[in-house]
Structure 1
Amino acid sequence: MFRIARRVILQWLTLLAFASVQFAASAAPNAAASGAPSAKGSLVIIGGNLRPGNAPVWERILQLAGGKDARIAVFASAAGYPEKSGKFLVDRLNSYGAKAFFVPVAVKLAGSDYHAAADDPKLAELVRSANGAFFAGGDQSRITSALRHEDGSNTRVLDALWDMYRRGGVIAGTSAGAAIMSSTMFGRPRTVLATLKLGVEDGKEITDGLGFIGDDVFVDQHLLVRGRFARMLPAMLAKGYKLGLGIDEDTAMVVLPNRDVEVIGYKGALVLDLANASAREGAFNVSNVRVSYLDNGDRFNILTHEFTPSEDKADGKLDPSRPYYREPLFSADILGNSTVVDLMSKLIDSDQPEAIGITLGSPNGVQPDLGFEFRFTRAADSVGYSSAATDAYSIYNLRLDIRPILIRRPLYQYKQP
């Protein structure tokens, strides 16, 4: 324990010494940093499980930070083993050309007082003078605990992060590091199905995030792999959000200062639009949600709500008079891994009027007789694009209605006549 603490302290002192030498010469290499003080930087919101070899994401972080030798502050505040996680991320970023450094502000960092570290003026200046920051995954509540005082006010290091971001720096985060990007995040959530059944409560299932993306967008992660798009809706309705962005694993949403969002990586993201949605009292029941799927390379503007397909799909707009799928569309596990996107892709290229998915839980779970039906339909402005290079779709503006259904227990075995 003493050896770990001594090594962390020595690393900290080395970083502070480096900051005193480099601060005068550390004018951000990216052009945005030299603009007006009110200018904002960029966000790279990663859905978790970012692979070391996912070069497009790692390289975009570095590019937004100014390119080779950009100084990136690594926060492993969410991690159970911050020193190990921090070292991995520093090494990974440096392998792509950065000059990354570990920031010793973490609840679980052995031998360190994270309260004192988060308010250390020299450490705050080190973060402020960086070109970017990267937040590791883990437990997002550890990030907010480390960077905010108990009364909710900002620590010096958090203020420094905001200064760096407003100056034009990039803030990236994976998993828990993505959850903190909105002003509301999941704190101690239940399972997705239990969230639909029981709802969310402020200070428990949902809590305050850091809000880098602004107060008007809700963000969630591990989205398609874990079916989390469904849990976004109760949280958004509870807090009055009209727009939600959910990103899948090994994939990133790059949010630029003009609020353009570009998806890069392995899979994609969902856009949930509740501007015209309506919900009923009682068991979760919502209608007229607009849902869109952004594939790799697609863009969406938060301000204008304009969608732009990737280059390989630009000439691939689907013709409704020439559908590919011609049979009923149904899934018995809408919360399964990527099931929602598979069903949406088939509907947008189908002669069917709707696609239906259901979800139900264990007979031993909470409210076992309650399930939910997810009904997707095409609207007048629904449109799809297919890639000429891969078996991939972009789907914009499908309608989604969710209603509770009764599951009759026990489930009897079908008998052949």
Structure 2
Amino acid sequence: MHTSSQAGTVVVIGGALRAGSDAVWQRLVDEAGGPGAPIAVFPTAAYEPERIAEQIVAALARCGARPEVIPVAPHLAGVDLQARLHDPALIARVAASRAVFFSGGAQEYIVDTLQPQGQATPMLQAVQAVFAAGGVVAGTSAGAAVMSQWMFRDAMDNLAVLRGRWRAGQEYDRGLGLLPPGLLVDQHFLKRGRIGRMLPALQALGCRLGLGVDEDAAVVVRGSVLEVIGGSGAVLVDMGEATCDATLPAFNLRGARLSYLGAGDCHDLTSGVTTPASRKRCQPRIAPQESHFAPRLGSGRYFLDFLGDGCLREALVQLLDGPAARVGGLAFRADARPDEPQADIGFEFWLHRAPGLVGWRDGGAGGDDYTVLNARLDVMPVRVASPLFQPLGPGAAPVVQSAGPSTPP
């Protein structure tokens, strides 16, 4: 069963919360009702469920909650998993909670345990009841990946997904369906360059919107409104105007819209209106199309690893506050095997200043904090030469047989 309308609140945490991230934990507790709020902790996705559950319980208790571990996880030793999933007393404890929290690990453990073959177990029905009653369902990393109707199951190779590796039950699967339909969520987004798998997934699944939450950040979703919290940010991808050329032999698109939202920024999925954090609204708006625009950044760069750590955010900021009307980069693999499918295919990404590109910058003590709205993105397949270059002079290093930095997992 998938929730067709959102009654409660979803908190999607991108993973790898840092030591000073109590603001995210505190917000979760506040959304659940404040001090004393009962929160059911599911370490289902974890490879070491006891240790991970202990860490989550400590963080929630530090912020005033009353957390309780629900011992339902494939990696719990000596546990009759089916009995736990149907235990009336355990189910009742979940149903009496004001919030449910899913740990990180492997998201397939969550859906395979709580929703085998797409059918909700009594335990998952209790989670859905908490949500339907206006409660909170939250998760970090793998626990965040399961929140939308569709989810990435085991699609760790961004470039392989770009090249067309996209199989039901392997790269993707059904999620828990707690987020609005048509919204696909992903995590570790900027750190791991996951725009590379988000775009073809949206195209293949027919989803219009993608929400990529970075590490050390979270997005609170209540109804149609998103709010970013934490130390980093999130990327919103809109495929509403995107097109592709079916005659090309590999993934391509033109006209996707990308926005980067930082902590405190809000976005309404229904109206499409973004409200920057108040500290940014106190600063001048950045609008490159206006005659008085003066770029703050110097000359930009072409990104030789567009899917590298943080490159997408840097490219968006460069587009907004730099001198160039477009910013580009490549995604391709240096260590591709000759027998690998489409081994010589890479992808060129170009961000453009489309009408409506606007942003804000807060240069506080923590460094430059940007909001970037409505950048246009085109992605085109390219053939990578092999070798990319030849050494000069006798005794030089061997010829490099394929080009570019490897794409992160």
Answer yes or no: same fold by TM over 0.5: yes
User: For residues 91-121 of structure 1, what are the alpha-carbon distances to aligned partners after superposition, in whole Å with 9 as ceiling and x for unaligned?
Assistant: 2211111110000111111111112211222
Indicate the larger mover: 189-198 or 246-255.
Answer: 189-198
Q: 2:296 aligns with which of 309, 321, 324?
A: 324
Aligned-partner residue type, residue 316 of structure 2: M
Q: Alignment partner of 2:229: what SS?
A: strand
Given candidates 360, 366, 370, the residue that maps to 1:385 is 360
1:144 to 83, 101, 111: 111
User: Which stretch of the first structure deviates more once superposed, 74-83 or 51-60?
Assistant: 51-60
Structure 2 match to 1:126: 93
Aligned equivalent of 1:351, options 305, 316, 323: 323
What SS does the corresponding residue of 1:237 show, helix, strand or coil? helix
- 2:259 pairs with 1:292: yes
Q: Which residue, out of 248, 271, 274, partners 2:236?
A: 271
Structure 1 residue 42 and structure 2 residue 4: aligned? Answer: no
Do the aligned partners of residues 39 and 335 (structure 1) sit closer, same or farther apart at CA in structure 2, a change above 3 Å counting?
closer
CA contact (8 A) 1:39 1:167 kept: no
- Partner residue, 2:42: 75
From the superposition, tell whether residues 340 and 151 of structure 1 become closer, same or farther in structure 2 (CA, over 3 Å). closer
RMSD: 1.6
Q: Give the 5 Å matches for 1:85-96.
A: 85-96=52-63
Q: Is the deviation greater in 317-326 or in 237-246?
A: 317-326
Q: Distance in 2 between matches of 1:208 and 1:132?
A: 22
Amino acid at match of 2:353: R
Q: Which runs of 5+ in 1 are unaligned?
A: 1-37
* Aligned equivalents of 1:387, 1:84: Cα separation in 2: 38
How many residue pairs were aligned? Answer: 377
Give CA-to-partner distance per residue, 1:309-344, whole Å, 9 cap, x none.
111111331143211235354111111111111011
Find out whether 1:403 has 2:375 as its counterpart.
no
SS of the equivalent of 2:84 reads: helix
Please list the CA deviations of residues 202-240 of structure 1 after superposition, one character each: whole Å capped at 9, or x if unmatched: 222101111111322000000000001220111111110
Q: Secondary structure of 1:157's partner?
A: helix
* Partners of 2:117 and 2:332 in 1: CA distance: 40
1:104 aligns with 2:71: yes
The partner residue of 1:226 within 192, 200, 203 is: 192
> CA contact under 8 A between 1:74 and 1:102: conserved in structure 2?
yes
What's the offset of the Cα at 1:128? 0.8
Aligned to 2:128: 162
In 2, Cα distance between equivalents of 1:161 and 1:271: 27
SS at match of 1:341: helix
Residues 365-395 of structure 1 show CA distances to partners (whole Å, capped at 9, x for unaligned) of: 4333111100000111111111142412110
Deviation at 1:52, TM superposition (A): 4.2
Q: Which residue of 2 aligns with 1:61?
A: 28
Are residues 1:212 and 2:178 paired?
A: yes
Question: What are the equivalent positions in structure 2 for 1:340-379 lying under 5 Å apart?
Answer: 340-365=312-337, 366=340, 367-379=342-354
Q: For residue 61 of structure 1, report the CA deviation from its aligned partner.
A: 0.3
Counterparts of 1:175 and 1:374 in 2: how far apart (Å)? 26
The one-letter code matched in structure 1 to 2:272 is H
- Tell me the residue number matched to 2:157: 191
Cα drift, residue 59 of structure 1: 0.4
Amino acid at match of 2:227: E
Question: Residues 78 and 39 of structure 1: is their aligned pair in 2 closer, same or farther, counting only changes over 3 Å?
Answer: closer
* Conserved 8 A contact 1:295-1:394: yes
Kept in 1, the 8 Å contact 2:22–2:59? The answer is no
1:286 touches 1:402 (CA, 8 Å); kept in 2? Answer: yes
Letter of the 2:239 partner, please give it.
Answer: L
Match of 1:5 in 2: none
**8 A contact 1:313–1:388 mirrored in 2:** no
Match for residue 402 of structure 2? none
| Distance in 2 separating the partners of 1:252 and 1:338 | 17
| 1:88 Cα deviation from its structure 2 partner | 1.8
Cα distance in 2 for partners of 1:88, 1:156 equals: 27
| Counterpart Cα distance in 2 of 1:319 and 1:255 | 28
Supply the distance in 2 between the matched residues of 1:39 and 1:283 (Cα, whole angstroms). Answer: 36
Instruction: Report what 1:115 is aligned to.
Output: 82
Distance in 2, Cα, partners of 1:240 & 1:214:
14
Aligned partners of 1:166, 1:354: CA distance in 2, in Å? 45
276, 294, 306: which one aligns with 1:334 = 306
Question: Offset of 1:157 from its aligned partner?
Answer: 1.2
TM-score normalised to structure 2 length: 0.89
Q: Counterpart in 2 of 1:18?
A: none
Three-state SS of the structure 1 residue aligned to 2:356 is: strand
Contact 1:277 1:288 in 2 (8 A): yes
Equivalent pair of 1:43/1:172 in contact (CA under 8 Å): yes
| Contact kept? 2:6, 2:178, Cα under 8 Å | no
* Counterpart contact for 1:247–1:269, Cα < 8 Å: yes
Matches within 5 A, 1:2-13: none
Task: Measure the CA separation in 2 of the matches of 1:227 and 1:347.
Answer: 18
1:248 to 173, 195, 214: 214
Which residue identity is paired with 1:303? T
Shift of 1:78: 0.2
